[in-house]
Structure 1
Amino acid sequence: MSADPFRPFETNLDQQTALRLLNEATAGADDGELFLERRKSEVLSFDDGRVKTASFDASEGFGLRAVKGETAGYAHSTTIDEHALRRAVATARLAVGDGGGTMAAAPAGTNRKLYSDEDPMLQASFPAKVDVLREIDAFARGLDKRVVQVSATLAASHQEVLILRPEGTLVTDTRPMSRLNVSVIVEQNGKRESGAAGGGGRAGLIGLISRDNWESTTREALRIALVNLDAEAAPAGVMDVVLGPGWPGILLHEAIGHGLEGDFNRKGSSAFAGLMGQQIAAKGVTVLDDGTIPDRRGSITVDDEGTPSAKNTLIEDGVLVGYMQDRQNARLMGVAPTGNGRRESYAHAPMPRMTNTYMLAGDAAPESLVADLKDGIYAVGFGGGQVDITNGKFVFSCTEAYRVKNGIVGAPVKGATLIGDGATALKQIRGIGNDMELDPGMGNCGKAGQWVPVGVGQPSLMIGGLTVGGAAA
């Protein structure tokens, strides 16, 4: 640890003064922290043969929190100095009042490092990044004469956080992130369809902008577009569905994952509230939230309260065994924090959030799941979705799906939506593939107006009796 840990931040605030003011804010509180953040980000977009966007953003600031029972006082500022911190103390103390509290124990320390400190934006020059995007555009157009538009985006960020607690514990983390996205539009006989592919993680740009990577990403985007060019209208009705591995785990994330976050369960608003220890899913279903996977998009060495991330089992062999917890909800529920206290930035208070949420593999060959599908949909790609946490009901749109009859994969279908509820879908899982995959690194999760990067994953799954919305059969 540097003798001056506040030095990277443009501030005349020293650690001793910050700690003294933090203690003023949290006197009589149950918990609290000072969260400092410095972030830089860059986005380059190449669209229709030219640079469309070239943006760079830099920000820094602090958030001060004091927690008492179910109440939290929070104040933040883009100015990091003693005057701004004193004003924040007065605001945060409004949640504490005059009553005495017992300060929660500090989070355990860790020497683990899950990703590099290196700034990915510095790994290639601006002209080199533009050249890669231009090459992607030319490559995609050269693959198929039906390509009429290509969009390619490189994004990278570098976040530094410092978390100071009232007892003097100081935790730091430096978090890189990079991502490449390619979208292709094709046209044939007046009909246009699109396909997209991409990925990334908490690693540098070097791997993303290698020719092997961007060529395969571009080919995949084109493949999806061409599949959709030949797609028929999706059927409608209640039918069995086989989900492909990897990114389709976004359905698991939305329909089930949010319902297993601690705050929703403490307040009784989750469809899974009060079901701890009960069978909530089919036998064989084991779901984890794991923030400890090196270099993954949803991974965090420590969460935004300073708690080390963990590999948390949520559902084991169909039985609910755990929730994801931040410090406040864990204390109120009488359990340990799980390293899931996350926030979008210094301007936001932490709350229980997912990291990398996935289902473990089963023992079925994926092709056998499809072969057992008598009349249904094989869905391998998903777009947007919505879920109601209180009842677990979800609606998801498919970006790549196929009609299956008597175990034979037929024509691709477009316009398919999957409708159901998480609690029922869990119990209707009839087959679990042996092909668990994590997504390529493209997930963002929204909750209460805050967005954080996440990962998802699953093996191929057969789910019985989902409602498929589409055109009339």
Structure 2
Amino acid sequence: MSQDQFAPFESHIDEAKALGVLREATAGAEDGELFLERRRSEALVFDDGRVKNASYDASEGFGLRAVKGEVSGFAHSTEISEAALKRAAETARLAVGDGGGVMAPPPSRTNRALYGSADPMADAPFATKIDLLREIDAFTRDLDKRVVQVTASMAASLQEVFILRPEGGLVSDIRPMARLNVSVIVEENGRRESGSHGGGGRFGLAGLLEPHHWQGAAREALRIALVNLVAEPAPAGAFDVVLGPGWPGVMLHEAVGHGLEGDFNRKKTSAFAGLMGTQVAAKGVTVVDDGTIPDRRGSISIDDEGTPSARNVLIEDGVLVGYMQDRQNARLMGVSPTGNGRREGHAHPPMPRMTNTYMLGGTTDPAAILADLKDGIYAVGFGGGQVDITNGKFVFNCTEAYRVKNGVVGAPVKGATLVGDGPAAMKGIRAIGSDMALDPGVGNCGKAGQWVPVGVGQPTLLISGLTVGGSAA
């Protein structure tokens, strides 16, 4: 990460002129910045034996913001010029009013880089990528005669951001991203089921193109599809549920993580509002949001306001000890920013968002947790879910789950949904495994119409009394 190079945008406007316009826009404000972005991305999809989609996108633009109290003035444009900046400044100044605000201290500075800056799209020629997707398709079909359709995809992007502040501070970050995914549909006796697997992170495509990686993804996607091919209808009712490690942490992300973002708590719309310092989860439960893990999908060297990312403890031994904050909400709540001010791109204002959110592991053998489950569900994979932030109520679809009786993992079940509320689920945790794992690098998080890449993780967990929606009592 560099802190003093405005060079990629000098052909549009020099730094001194940009700073002058920004200072005019934020005179009398309490905060603000000029966020410049250049982004390039590529996506390839090979579906059912042929190239279905091949796209390349390039964009650039800026967002200019002035903040005073609870009000933000924000304007953006894909035209980076002095004239466009001045038009944006006129809009942003509407938030400042008569002025009188005192500019907040700037973010601390860092030279830490959590990932490389090389362009992942340059790791292989276009033709090589297509040939590899074709090879993945053929390999996966050869694994099992029941495979009737394969979808193989890869995506890569490079985002360059520059954040200029009114006091003259300039920080930048170059953010690579790569991902490869394999989806499979199998058929037997007229029944069709699907499975998918993939992963990635803030690194080049090269590692994902290695046979050991994509062959592993293909085998795992097929395994999940074949499990679902013999799955029985899920039961319905109240059950104890064991959640597997890694990706099932998406339930923690949705049911708890969003409720611990600063803006929801400042506005008292979160189920966790006003509970700082109180027991909100079972003893032994520690939840962390950590944007500093090298090369992870949800990691950021700096957030989109220029604050260095951090490892923030949110719940410690069951007690709520922190929220995730951007600069505006932190200032209004009288606390420090936590490096969680994120935005989808230059056309979006920042807000408190998660990075890599996970629960720390415990000391219990995961096998012992399953052995103690008398009558319940073992949920290994999750698909989509919905959460109401105001009360923490959630509904999640299981993509891989099993019936467990007297500690024995039995038949896979299909159509299981987990229903509950975040605060109750956290207090209902009865065992924490020693096998904490992060997801393979597939998470995207939506909030207020903005999408950002995130990571999740957790150990094996036993949660008592969740409602399982299924098709059989």
- Pick the TM interval, shorter chain: over 0.9
Give the equivalent residue in structure 2 for 1:406: 406
Letter in 1 for 2:207: G
**5 Å matches for 1:242-261?**
242-261=242-261
1:12: Cα distance to partner? 2.7
Paired residues of 1:185 and 1:225 also in contact (CA < 8 A): yes
Instruction: Indicate conservation of the 8 Å contact 1:5/1:15, yes or no.
Output: no
Q: 1:331 maps to which residue?
A: 331
Does the CA-based 8 Å contact 1:6-1:13 persist in structure 2? no
Partner SS state of residue 100, structure 1: coil
CA contact (8 A) 1:271 1:392 kept: yes
- How big is each residue's C-alpha offset from its partner over 1:157-181, in whole Å with a ceiling of 9 and x where there is no partner? 0000000000000000000000001
Separation of aligned partners in 1, 2:11 and 2:423 = 49
Once the two structures are superposed, what CA deviation does each residue of 1:396-444 show, in whole Å capped at 9, x if it has no partner?
A: 0000000000110000000000000000000000000000000000000
What's the TM-score once normalised by structure 1's chain length?
Answer: 0.99
- Following TM superposition, by how much is the alpha carbon of 1:4 offset from its aligned partner in structure 2, in angstroms? 8.3
- Give the deviation of 1:111 after TM superposition: 1.1
Q: Report the CA distance between 1:10 and its aligned residue.
A: 7.0
CA-to-aligned-CA distance 1:361-400 (integer Å, 9 cap, x gap): 0001111111111111000000000000000000000000
Residue aligned with 2:212, SS: helix
Aligned letter for 2:70? E
What per-residue deviation string (whole Å, max 9, x for no partner) do you get for residues 2-24 of structure 1?
A: 99833313743100000010000
Alignment of 1:10-25 (within 5 A): 11-25=11-25
| Identity of matched residues, % | 76
Q: Distance in 1 between matches of 2:306 and 2:112?
A: 13
After superposition, where does 1:266-277 map in structure 2 within 5 Å?
266-277=266-277
> Any residues of structure 2 matched to 1:302-317 within 5 Å, and which?
302-317=302-317
Which residue pairs with 2:177 in the alignment?
A: 177
Q: Distance in 2 between matches of 1:3 and 1:293?
A: 21
Instruction: Flag the 1:246–1:2 CA change in 2: closer, same or farther, 3 A.
Output: closer
Once the two structures are superposed, the pairs formed by residues 212-227 of structure 1 within 5 Å of their partners are: 212-227=212-227
Question: Could you say which residue in structure 1 is the equivalent of 2:299?
Answer: 299
In the TM superposition, 1:47-446 aligns within 5 A as 47-446=47-446
CA contact (8 A) 1:75 1:91 kept: yes
**Residue pair 2:74, 2:349 contacting (<8 A) in 1 also:** yes
1:38-58 deviations in whole A, cap 9, x for unaligned? 000000000000110000000
Distance, in Å, in 1 between the alignment partners of 2:280 and 2:28 is 40
**Cα deviation code 1:236-287 (max 9, x no counterpart):** 0001000000000000000000000000000000000000000000000000
Please give the alpha-carbon distance, in whole angstroms, between the structure 2 residues aligned to 1:272 and 1:263.
Answer: 12
2:2–2:111 contact (8 Å) kept in structure 1: no
Aligned letter for 2:386?
Q
What code does the residue aligned with 2:35 have?
A: F
Q: Distance in 1 between matches of 2:10 and 2:78?
A: 11
Large movers: runs of 4+ above 4 Å: 1-4
Distance (whole Å) between structure 2 residues aligned to residue 3 and residue 228 of structure 1? 50
| 2-structure distance, mates of 1:5, 1:375 | 60
Distance of 1:12 and 1:77 partners within structure 2 = 13
CA RMSD of aligned residues (A): 1.0
* In 2: Cα distance, 1:380 partner to 1:314 partner: 25
Looking at structure 2, the residues matched to 19 and 48 of structure 1 have their Cα atoms a distance apart, in angstroms, of: 52
1:35 has 2:46 as partner: no
Aligned partner letter, 2:172: T
**1: CA distance, partners of 2:360 / 2:12:** 49
Say whether the 8 Å CA contact 1:19–1:168 is kept in structure 2: yes
Report the 3-state secondary structure (helix = DSSP H, G, I; strand = E; otherwise coil) of the residue aligned with 2:168.
coil
Distance in 2, matches of 1:71 and 1:181, equals 41
Structure 2 vs 1, CA of residues 71 and 45 (structure 1 numbering), >3 Å: closer, same or farther?
Answer: same
The one-letter amino acid paired with 1:71 is V
C-alpha offsets along residues 264-313 of structure 1, whole Å, 9 cap, x if unaligned?
A: 00000000000000000000000000000000000000000000000000
Aligned partners of 1:468 and 1:365: how far apart in 2? 25
- State whether residues 61 and 346 of structure 2, in contact with CA within 8 Å, keep that contact through their aligned partners in structure 1: yes
Q: In the alignment, residue 209 of structure 1 is paired with which amino acid?
A: L
Unpaired runs of 5+ residues, structure 2, are: none
1:151 aligned counterpart, secondary structure = strand
Contact 1:11/1:80 (<8 A) preserved: no
Please tell me whether the aligned partners of residues 115 and 203 of structure 1 are also in contact (alpha carbons under 8 angstroms).
yes
Q: Under a length normalisation based on structure 2, what TM-score does the superposition of the two structures give?
A: 0.99
**Match of 2:323, as an amino acid?**
Y
